[in-house]
Structures are given as structure tokens and as C-alpha cells.
């Protein structure tokens, strides 16, 4: 498949989970993919998966909570492939579970720095590069919790609401210059972020019950939406928020 032939995509947090699924699908559709993560082992595994399937990928380690890492990631991508067409800003953490009044300051700052500041830093440098080549597409991974609350997850909810607003704002500013910006809101997806919860059957049953479809999502299901939004098939879509949530938000 050559839908993304000669196009270059960065996917942050692509050492596992949704990010890896997105990276693999972009590669299958012809893109040159830059895998980025703080997890070097997972990142290189993602590269190996893509190369074994005949795709092209490289790993660049970056901590999105550091603006200098985000700047270097874009710079190294251009050095390797000559351009940047797609940015998928997916890197994120769940953070601690605590009531708002009991939430630790360190825990709050860590989640905000990675889940919100990291998206802003990534977009800042992606946009600057995309403007040099006439445009591109940015897809930010928010969450269903970018629309509603979830007790004991104040930092995560605040960050993901921020990602949705930031995406809308950037779309207003840059769509006329050829850069489309959208956000995606996954429901609860079976990824390493749920690893601790999966050990508690009651908790997992509760989470499943929140999704009218009757199950949790798969990373590949999110990737299909992300790749469509990044493609020319979504050429008139910008400033939008798309849930992929098994009906969670329809309750």
C-alpha cells in the first residue's frame, strides 16, 4: 500500500501500545516512520516489527517533557528523511490515582509535563518544520477523559482536556497554511497503561461495563482512525475531536 509513499511520520510514545500500532500501520501504508520513546528497548522492537514487514523506520529517543528533546527529534527526523509530513503526538502516562485534594504536587507536574506540555512542545517544532514544506497533518492522542471527568485522575483529565483545546486552537491558526490538526479520544484500550488494572478482575469488569460495546478497545482500532485523519482522505477535517470509545461517551 502506498497511501503515504514518500511521506515521513513521527509517532511519539511508539515503543508500545497505541503508538506502536499507529507506527506499524503508517509503515504498512508506505510512510517512513520515526519511532520515538523514552523506552529504548520498546522503540527498537517497534522498528524491528516494521522492518520485518518490509517497512522503513528508525528510532530516536526523546523525552517529550523536555522541549530540547522535542526540537532535536524533529531536527534528527529531517536529517534522516529530509522532511516531516505527519506528527502523531501520543506519548503519555496515566499518573497516580488520588483525590484532587490528596494529589501529590510531583505527580501533578509529571502528568502535565508529559501529557500536555509534551504535546505542545512536539507541535511547536513539528509545525515550524511543516510550514517549510507547505503543510502536514498533526494528530494528538487525547482521551475520552478529554471530554468528561474520572474520579482520582485529576491530572490526567486536566491534561487531556488541554490537548483537545490545544488541537482546536492550532487548527484555527494553521489550517489555512496547510497544516491540519485533530485529536483522537480513545476509550479504555488494552495497552501497557492498563497493566496494573488487568490484575484486578473486578476493576477490569467495571471498566468494560462503562463501554456499551461490551469490551475494551484494541490499539489497532485506534490506529485506523489516526492514520485516516493523517491521510488525504481526511483533507477537509481539521479542528475536530474524534472519540474511538465503544460508546463510552454516549452513555
CB atoms within 10 A of CB 36: 32
Distance separating alpha carbons of residues 106 and 131, to the nearest angstrom: 36
pLDDT computed for residue 194 by the predictor: 77
**Statement: residue 197 has pLDDT above 80:** no
pLDDT computed for residue 91 by the predictor: 98
Active-site residue among 121, 156, 174, 248? Answer: 156
Burial of 41 (0-12, 13-18, 19+ CB in 10 A): exposed
For residues 209-219, give the mean pLDDT.
96
- Of the options 3.40.50.720, 3.40.50.460, 3.40.250.10, 3.30.365.10, the CATH number for the domain spanning 8-191+219-245: 3.40.50.720
For residues 178-196, give the mean pLDDT.
90
pLDDT computed for residue 192 by the predictor: 78
pLDDT computed for residue 212 by the predictor: 97
Q: What is the grid cell recorded at 220?
A: 489497532
Q: Encode pLDDT of 88-103 as tens digits.
A: 999 999 999 999 999 9
How many angstroms from the chain centroid is the CA of residue 27? 16
Report whether 207 contacts 172 (CB < 8 A): no
81 is catalytic: no
**Statement: residue 193 has pLDDT above 80:** no
User: What residue ranges do the domains of the chain occupy?
Assistant: 8-191+219-245
* pLDDT bucket at 213, cuts 50 / 70 / 90: very high
pLDDT computed for residue 232 by the predictor: 97
* pLDDT bucket at 136, cuts 50 / 70 / 90: very high
Amino acid at each position: 500500500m502506498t497511501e503515504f509513499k514518500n511521506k515521513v511520520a513521527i509517532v511519539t510514545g511508539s515503543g508500545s501500545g497505541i503508538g506502536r500500532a499507529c507506527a506499524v500501520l503508517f509503515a504498512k501504508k508506505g510512510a517512513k516512520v520515526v519511532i520515538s520513546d523514552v523506552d529504548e528497548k520498546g522503540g527498537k522492537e517497534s522498528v524491528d516489527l516494521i522492518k520485518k514487514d518490509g517497512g522503513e523506520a528508525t528510532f530516536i529517543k526523546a523525552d517529550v517533557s523536555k522541549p530540547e528533546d522535542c526540537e532535536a527529534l524533529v531536527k534528527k527526523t529531517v536529517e534522516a528523511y529530509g522532511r516531516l509530513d505527519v506528527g502523531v503526538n501520543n506519548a503519555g502516562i496515566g499518573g497516580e490515582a488520588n483525590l484532587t485534594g490528596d494529589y501529590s504536587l510531583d505527580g501533578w507536574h509529571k502528568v502535565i509535563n508529559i501529557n500536555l506540555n509534551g504535546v505542545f512542545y512536539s507541535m511547536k517544532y513539528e509545525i515550524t518544520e511543516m510550514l517549510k514544506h507547505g503543510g502536514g497533518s498533526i494528530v494528538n492522542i487525547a482521551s475520552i477523559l478529554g471530554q468528561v471527568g474520572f474520579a482520582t485522575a485529576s491530572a490526567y483529565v486536566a491534561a487531556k482536556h488541554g490537548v483537545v483545546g490545544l488541537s482546536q486552537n492550532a487548527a484555527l491558526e494553521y489550517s489555512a497554511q496547510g497544516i491540519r490538526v485533530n485529536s483522537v479520544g480513545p476509550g479504555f484500550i488494552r495497552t501497557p497503561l492498563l497493566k496494573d488494572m488487568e490484575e484486578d478482575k473486578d476493576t477490569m469488569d467495571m471498566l468494560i461495563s462503562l463501554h456499551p460495546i461490551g469490551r475494551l478497545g484494541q490499539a489497532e482500532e485506534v490506529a485506523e482512525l489516526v492514520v485516516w485523519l493523517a491521510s488525504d482522505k481526511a483533507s477537509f477535517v481539521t479542528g475536530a475531536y474524534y472519540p474511538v470509545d465503544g460508546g463510552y461517551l454516549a452513555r
